Amino acid sequence: MSAAIIIPAYNAAAFLAEAIKSALVQTHPAAQVIVVDDGSTDETATVAKEFGDAVMLLRQPNAGVSAARNFGAAQTSADWLLFLDADDRLRPYALKTLLARAAESPLGCIYGQSVDFTANGRFEMEHGSCAMQGAVPLGARVAFWKAPIATPGAAIILRDVIERVGGWNPLFNTTADRDLWCRIGTVMEFGFVHDVVVERRIHETNMSSDKNRGRRQAVEVQLAFLEWCSARGVDTAFLETSEPEIFERNANRAIEERAFEAAAWIADEAEQRGIQSDALSRARRLAGMPGLARDMELRVREFIGL
C-alpha cells in the first residue's frame, strides 16, 4: 500500500522545515511528500524548495486549508493520504504503524494518538482514544460532538473514501477535520492504533486557539452534516440529537470557554430558526453584559453549582 503526505502551508516558513523532515524520514517511505503553498506572503515556498525533488511544491492563491488539502490530494494516486499540518511533526514510524493497521481489515480511516509540544520542547497532553473504532456509523456519532482525532496528521485516509464523501469542505478551517470524520463515518469504519504518531505544536497562532471561531464552526459543521446526510438519504437517528440540542449544547460550551462572541451568534442563529430555550436566553444575556458583571455572575453560578 502506498501513502502520500500532504502538507498545506500558509505563512508557515518558521515551522515548515521540521514538518517536511519528519515526512521524509518515515520508516515506511511516503510515495510522495506534497507541500501546498496556500498563497503565502513569507518564505514558505523557499523553505519547501530547499528539499529539491524530495518534495512536490504546489502553489495556489490563498483559499484556505481545506482547499489546499483538496488540491494536494488531487495530485497523487497514492492509496492512502495523510494531511500533516505545517507546524506539526510526524513520529518516524507513523506511516508504518498506521499502514500495518490498514492491512488487517477493510477500513476507511486509521488514526493514532497525538502529543502536544511547546516552544521549549516539552511534551504535554496526549490525545486519542479508540472511541471511533467500530461498525458504521459509530465513527460519525462519536466525531459529531468531539473527535478523538486531535489533528489530521494523526490519521491516514483512503483516497477513494475522501473522493466518495466529497473531500474537505472549503467552508471550514478550524473544524474541517471533524466535518470530514463525520462524513467518512457514514460510509466506512475507523481503525485505531495506540501509538503516538504525530507531535502537535502548540503556539499562539494555532487555528484552534480562536475559541469563538472554533465554537461557531462547531455548530456550522453539525448543521452542515445533517444537511449532507439529508441530501443523501442517510438516516441521522443514530445521532440521537436535534437542532435545539445542537444550539443549546454549543451555547453552554461557548460560555464555559468564555467564547462570548460565539455565544451571541449561536443565540441569534437559533432565534432565526425559531429555537428558544433558557440556555440560549442565558447565552444572549451573558454575551451582552459588561465584562466585570459577566465574570461576577459566572463565578457566583459556578460557586453554587449552577
Q: Per-residue pLDDT tens for 24-39?
A: 999 999 999 999 999 9
Same domain flag for 123 and 228: no
Question: What pTM was computed for the model?
Answer: 0.93
> 158 is in which domain, residue-wise?
3-208
The pLDDT confidence band at residue 189, using thresholds 50, 70 and 90, is very high
Same domain flag for 171 and 243: no
Q: Rounded distance, CA 74 to CA 70, Å?
A: 6
pLDDT tens-digit series, residues 94-149: 999 999 999 999 999 999 999 999 877 788 888 999 999 999 999 999 999 999 99
Same domain flag for 219 and 148: no
Q: What is the mean pLDDT of residues 247-260?
A: 93
Domain boundary among the residues 182, 208, 234 is at 208
CATH number of 98's domain: 3.90.550.10
What is the pLDDT, as a whole number, of residue 123?
Answer: 84
What is the pLDDT, as a whole number, of residue 121?
Answer: 76
CA dihedral 235, 246, 209, 149 (to 10 degrees): -30
Q: What is the mean pLDDT of residues 245-260?
A: 94
Same domain flag for 198 and 256: no
Same domain flag for 214 and 112: no
Same domain flag for 113 and 32: yes
Same domain flag for 160 and 276: no
Same domain flag for 117 and 260: no
Q: Rounded distance, CA 48 to CA 34, Å?
A: 9
> The cell 460557586 sits on which residue?
303
Name the domain count of the chain. Answer: 2
Same domain flag for 165 and 44: yes
What is the pLDDT, as a whole number, of residue 305?
Answer: 67
Q: Rounded distance, CA 59 to CA 261, Å?
A: 34
Domain boundary among the residues 193, 208, 223 is at 208
What is the pLDDT, as a whole number, of residue 124?
Answer: 81
Q: What is the mean pLDDT of residues 225-251?
A: 97
Domain boundary among the residues 183, 208, 233 is at 208
Residue 216 pLDDT > 90: yes
Same domain flag for 190 and 223: no
Same domain flag for 202 and 254: no
In three-state form (DSSP H/G/I as H, E/B as E, the rest C), the secondary structure along 118-138 is: CCCCCEEEEECCHHHEECCCH
CA dihedral 15, 20, 21, 27 (to 10 degrees): 140
Same domain flag for 84 and 200: yes
